[in-house]
Structure 1
Amino acid sequence: MSCKASVQTDVHVGTHESAQQADEFDEAPRVADVQPTLRTEYFGIARRMTLRPAQRTATCSCVAAVVGSGDDPNFEWYGDKPDIGPDALVVGVSAEGIPCEHRGRGPSIAAVDREGQDVVIVLEEFKDTRPIAAGAIIPNPGPSGSIYLRAQGKAPYGRPEAGRGLRGLCKIGTGSETTNVP
């Protein structure tokens, strides 16, 4: 059994007139903006980092929080510290030494969210079904972005002082100028 088929095509290529139009630019074509190179190897929960023992004051309800670079002396790294560039900041939280009516297991970072230019660290009551998360490596939100804590559910950790804070957020810092790396 054999099959006989034929195909007929009709192809037209550009004319001399359209080639001239393509060459008549008033200015050179634009090149896309160069994207910054990330220098940080990991963003997210930093389980190998805690706040160094120190005299602490509450930043938000029932918790002290520190925002800084990966080399900040307030942070203690267990094992190798990951490479953290100017495109990132580190956040550490602790309830040690902070007065609180709630006597729980302490705060643990449940999530890191973005809301526009801002970064929101969500705190929950520590659960023994997961490792405690006392630190996070977050994207640097830049000078016009802020860093906030937000309590998850009924957890007391990270709530703003009564009458302060927008949408239940407690501001702990702002981003820095050095977010874009050449």
Structure 2
Amino acid sequence: MDARLDLYDHGMTIAVKGRIHVVRYDTTSVFQETARHPHGSARAATTRAYALTDVEGKRIVLQGRPEDSDAEEWGSEIRRAVTHAQVPLAWAALERGERLAFGDVWLTLEQVGSAAVSARWPQVQQIESENGTIRLNIDGSWHRLGPTGATLPNPFVFRTLVERLRADGMRS
């Protein structure tokens, strides 16, 4: 990666191509993509890309290979910090009755869905992300929530909220 990252309590700065971008953990959208590429032999190289939104709304893409850089460390820290900053705000919004959108997928305290399908939390037996698509097991039948892939912002925030909402739904 040809960028300098400085991580702070409430955000980070990214110096790239002579410009400094400021990213706040509580307001950024992070899009995460992992790709495996053939690397000349039987082994494959993995590249991780994180696209973040800075305070001016500009998108910055960070790429790295865990095997030869510190990408795993900064990627893990970005996921942790954004989750820590955004989950309490998202949960408060849900408790106020708001509907949260994660790309094509939405959540409320009562339901999860997309344009194609929705379900009440007690009906959701399992949720998984497979090949970049969110799938729900609703009453024993699998349903795709729509084209998400790398278009799902803050997938780790989404996952944290879903786990809590499913657990709460199972107790209902």
TM-score by length of 2: 0.23
Structure with bigger helix share is: 2
Q: Normalized per residue, which structure has more strand?
A: 2
TM-score by length of 1: 0.22
